Structure 1
Amino acid sequence: MPTDSGADDVIDRDRLRALTDRERATFAERNPRSAAEYARAGNLFGRTPMTWMNKNAAGYPVYLDTARGARLTDVDGHEYIDFCLGDTAAMAGHSPAPVVAAVTRRLGELGGASTMLPTADAAAVGAELSRRFGVPQWSFALTATDANRWAIRLLRAVTGRPRILVNSYCYHGSVDESLIVAGADGHPRSREGNVGAPCDVTLTSRVAEFNDLEGLARELAHGDVAAVLMEPALTNIGIVLPEPGYLAGVRALTLAHGTYLINDETHTFSAGPGGATAAWDLAPDVVTIGKAIGGGIPIGAYGLSDDLAAALLGRADLDLIDMGGVGGTLAGNPVSMAAARATLEEVLTDAAFATMIEVATAFADGVRKIIDAHGLPWSVSRLGARVEYRFASPAPRTGTESAARADAALEDFLHAYLLNRGVLLTPFHNMALMCPDTTLDDVARHHEVFAAALGELRVAA
């Protein structure tokens, strides 16, 4: 059933169902090899390498054959303009030449995929991240989830406080403390679908709505919050942008309550070379990031202020070297460090971001014109090189509102329609990301197919 999306007044739901059935049948006809691969994957839990790969609009995923730049092909030979880009992991484009060269050299000429020894690349990556994000001390993980987990442990240790505060419907990977939302009755609750929580999330976490400073102040007043972990803009529930003064208010409140502030830039890195932190002149105590900085090679990182790093390193009671709960054998490995250095120094440069943001602006402007031409009560949100069309106007201002405006049936139709015509969006929502190889012609093709999809829905004027 559709949620309260505001689209029912202009979308013929019976026609939507019929068109979705048609697109799924077309998908099945076009992709017999992907279907065969899916059928024979019985030894995989959920038939995919990770169960979330079953999030698709057409019944089963397409199987990858090749990927370069902003293009990928599947095992049935179909080429796609890729606006998903690994849900940000491939924001540098697929297999960018400098990253391929750096990883090939590390594995082949130099050797050593995993050694538990530092390389010069790691210091170079730390220096570049410091330059971009303004926090000087960096450490590495293999995912942003682990970077967040380890940062949380450090901040609990240094403050002696037990709780972490997040925004309702935030995204910080699979961090247990982040799977909390604000309930309709105003009380916090576990996010729907939370799998195997180790304890009631309300024991470890507090929650406030994004763009709600009064709610944040109320929760911080308890005095038990070690850190506010937040995205400078919500992304995985659909882009929710900060209102004027909100992020400055968050920083002021955290300082007033002796609470550390973590900016999770894993997705908001799309805002610019230094993410939203640099683009919006923010001053967090910690920055976490992952995915994109490795050019497709697994990586995560967290950066600390000098004062925080000194406070932690000065604690003789904290085991930061052996089994204290911070670190992993593969973290900071030579391959991920070589990949990150090449990505940051040669691919996701300041110039590349300028082009990506220019292309994203064209994407957003074009989608907005198509929506307006069809008289739809929708909106478009852009975060640097990332764009999303929303089934609401004005765009949602909180995570809870954004979740309520979702429309799974409409999303499935649009995603299947686009996929059958060679355009791939992020499967979790209507997000399009630009990489350095994305062109204005790619954007024009999306717009052509998107407009045709809306035309077929027989949208009322």
Structure 2
Amino acid sequence: MSHSQEDLRGIQSARLDAFKQREAERYADARPQTLARLQSEKGSFLDDVPMHWMKDWPMPFPMLVSHAKGARLVDLDDNAIDDFCLGDTGSMFGHSPDPVARAIAAQADQGLTYMLPTEHAFEAGRLLTEKFGDFRWQIATTASDANRFALSVARAVTGKPKVLVFEGCYHGAVPDVMVTLENGETKPRPGLTGQVVDLTELAICAEFNDLDSVEAALKSGEVAAIITEPVLTNSCMVLPAPGFHDGLRKLATEYGALLIMDETHTISSGLGGYTGVSGLDPDIFVVGKCVAGGMPTAVWGMRQSLADAYTTYDANRPGGHSGLGTTLSANPMQFACLRANLSEVMTAEAYAHMEAGAERLAQGLQDVITRVGADWHVVRVGARVEFICAPGPLTSGTQARTAHAPEIEAAMHVGLLNRGCLIAPFHNMMLVSPVTENAQIDRLVAAFDDIMTELFEG
């Protein structure tokens, strides 16, 4: 793509183009075996990858991973890489934590799934309550599933049809929440595949940190639940304003809506997630990704009063399939991994290490931004850090959308990878795990410094 010489977020466009070209060539030169393997295997998968997101990374072609352990991974061409993406939170506690790996090995020859509980299940339930609060738990395979089930329960108990979501939110592959704000009106998000239902019949969109917009939506009397991340995390991080979560709780109670906290990303906030650290009081709590140490698992829990209301509803509904649950959910491997991860990996000591490392990373990145004079900023939530190519702080999803700079972010992603550092592909997110070393953090800061110096100073 050609550009004039205008600045793009403080970077001369021609300089960015030259950088992108060099980094793409450098990436390809370092991965001849990977490229040959990809070319030899064309035809087995749709678009040549087993899951289409794998083509959405900004690298010129997918990187094939050979193995990973701790906070490092090695690709097919034997390039060793410091991993700050960590499966986009799925491996936030490191790749294959030893207690989880041992639990997998122990369970492997005792059966993988039988649609019945094990003794591990009850210990996992006790640990979930110990870590996250007094909820009545259910096990799912992904947080997308858990969110769908939670919304079904909310609609069943309240008898209301709609869910309130926030502009810029991320709740997985849940069709009901795929709406956006356009000139203050709720519209379906563009680009949805095969969408035939008018999503505005199912959801209404409000602005994060705007309690007036929340109350205006609730006044319709149609909202069964407010579902939110405690922090917007998937489109340039947006922190909650003081009093915002207290206001949500108050408004939800006043207007007869349930409050659902999706902590799938903000589990990085500390032990117990943002809910535990900040003393929030949701009706339903959802977390997935890393909760079982990387084994595909999600959990969702209801307060006792809501569980009682749902039990009454369930006893009186017509017979037939509830639409909740999937065959492979709550399998014995999940319980074994949950028990190991919650008891031995997800500890206060682990989070203390993560917090200290993330603060080191955030300060290092901000120092570089300040030194080169970029009008950018860094934001951190516990172990989760993001550099944002715009002034901050951001206060809404709409601001986050306009702060996103895909062309710069894609170039920097490949540049960092060429310097031995992997960050999340769809935004500039970095995670510090319990096994991430200061030397790795310092290498990432140095790589960022090298790139920023080239882009801003030539």
Measured at CA, do residues 75 and 217 of structure 1 come closer, stay the same or move farther in structure 2, by a change above 3 Å? same
SS of alignment partner, residue 164 of structure 2 = strand
Q: Distance in 1 between matches of 2:9 and 2:175?
A: 39
Measured in 2, the distance between the counterparts of 1:198 and 1:299 equals 29
The secondary structure found in structure 2 opposite 1:302 is: strand
Q: Which residue of 2 aligns with 1:24?
A: 24
User: In 1, Cα distance between the equivalents of 2:252 and 2:350?
Assistant: 34
SS at structure 1 position matched to 2:121 = helix
Mark the runs of 5 or more structure 2 residues left unpaired by the alignment.
Answer: none
After TM superposition, the structure 1 stretch with the greater mean CA deviation from structure 2, 127-136 or 197-206, is: 127-136
Tell me the residue number matched to 1:331: 329
User: Residue 403 of structure 2 corresponds to which residue in structure 1?
Assistant: 405
| Structure 1 segment 262-341 matched on structure 2, within 5 A | 262-315=260-313, 316-318=315-317, 323-341=321-339
Q: Structure 1 residues 238 and 122 mapped into 2: Cα distance closer, same or farther (>3 Å)? A: farther
1:41 matched to which residue of 2?
Answer: 42
Matches within 5 A, 1:71-90: 71-90=72-91
1:70 is aligned to 71
Match of 1:415 among 407, 413, 435: 413
- Measure the CA separation in 2 of the matches of 1:85 and 1:392: 25
**Mapped contact 2:161–2:223 kept (Cα < 8 A):** yes
> TM-score w.r.t. structure 1 length?
0.96
1:170-199: per-residue Cα shift (whole Å, max 9, x none)? 00001011111111x211111122222240
Q: Distance in 2 between matches of 1:126 and 1:450?
A: 42
User: In the TM superposition, what is the alpha-carbon distance from 1:46 to its structure 2 partner?
Assistant: 2.1
In the TM superposition, what is the alpha-carbon distance from 1:400 to its structure 2 partner? 1.6
Task: Give RMSD over aligned pairs.
Answer: 1.6
Name the structure 1 match of 2:169: 170
What's the offset of the Cα at 1:32? 1.5
CA deviation string 1:8-54 (max 9, x = no partner): 36211111011101100111111112212322232211211110111
- Corresponding pairs, count: 453
Query: Match for 1:36: what amino acid?
Result: A
Find 2:348's aligned residue among 347, 350, 353: 350
How far apart are residue 133 of structure 1 and its match? 2.0
CA distance in 1 between counterparts of 2:257 and 2:419 reads 49
Equivalent residue number for residue 361 of structure 2: 363
Letter in 2 for 1:329: T
Secondary structure of the corresponding residue to residue 113 of structure 1: coil
What is the rounded CA distance, in whole Å, between the counterparts of 1:85 and 1:406 in structure 2? 22
SS at match of 2:373: coil
Looking at structure 1, the residues matched to 351 and 32 of structure 2 have their Cα atoms a distance apart, in angstroms, of 38
Q: Is contact 1:10–1:459 with CA below 8 Å preserved after alignment?
A: no
Q: Specify the alignment match of 1:149 in structure 2.
A: 148
Q: Distance in 2 between matches of 1:51 and 1:117?
A: 33
Structure 2 counterpart of 1:88, one-letter code: T
- Output the CA distance in 2 between the equivalents of 1:48 and 1:265: 29
Does 2:24 correspond to 1:11? no
Q: Kindly provide the amino acid, as one letter, of the partner of residue 168 in structure 1.
A: E
Q: Is the Cα contact below 8 Å between 1:7 and 1:376 reproduced in 2?
A: no
Over residues 129-184 of structure 1, what are the superposed CA-to-partner deviations in whole Å (9 max), with x where a residue is unaligned?
A: 2122223200000000000000111110011100011101100001011111111x
The 8 Å contact of residues 387 and 432 in structure 1, kept in 2 or not, is answered as: yes
Structure 1 distance, partners of 2:44, 2:130, is 46
Report if the CA contact (8 A) 2:9-2:390 is conserved.
no
Query: Does structure 1 retain, via aligned residues, the 8 Å contact 2:71–2:433?
Result: yes
1:458 deviates by: 3.4
**8 Å contact 1:318–1:324 — kept in the other structure?**
no
